[in-house]
Amino acid sequence: MAELPEKKIVRTKVKWQTLIPEMLLILGAIAFPIISFIIDINHHRADWFERSGAITAIIGVIMASRSIKKHNQKFFTNIERNDLGKEMLHTSIPQLRIDKWTLVISIIGTLIWSYGDKVIELFLK
């Protein structure tokens, strides 16, 4: 049986420096719940932590829309490259990592938004 040749994956080259806005959004999405959690625990109440989940979820949506825009640009670039007979470009490793963080942040933000008050109540007992 003949072996299939290995396809070489050509990835888009993206420097981490170009992803600084996304990294700042990730830091903000993490900082809001942590700061809100500390405030709620120190003041023996359960209202800011839950609201911080909404902010985190919104940041996840913003990051997802930025990622979709980049993937669309790459898609059209690949159409042009295909017309020229060049290999298709795959998503860069840094962008793949940002995309994974986007998913995690969106899920965590939604969970905090929906059950954050219950988590604080556990700590206040």
Q: Where are the chain's structural domains?
A: 16-124
What digits encode the pLDDT tens for the residues 84-123? 888 888 888 889 999 999 999 999 999 999 999 999 999 8
* Mean pLDDT for the stretch of residues 31-51: 94
Quote the pLDDT of residue 11.
Answer: 81
Alpha helices in the chain (DSSP H): 20-43, 48-83, 93-124
Residue 18 pLDDT > 90: no
What digits encode the pLDDT tens for the residues 52-82? 999 999 999 999 999 999 889 888 888 888 8
The pairs formed by 18-24 with CB atoms below 8 angstroms and a separation of 24 or more are 19/94, 19/95, 19/98, 21/66, 22/63, 22/66, 22/98, 23/98
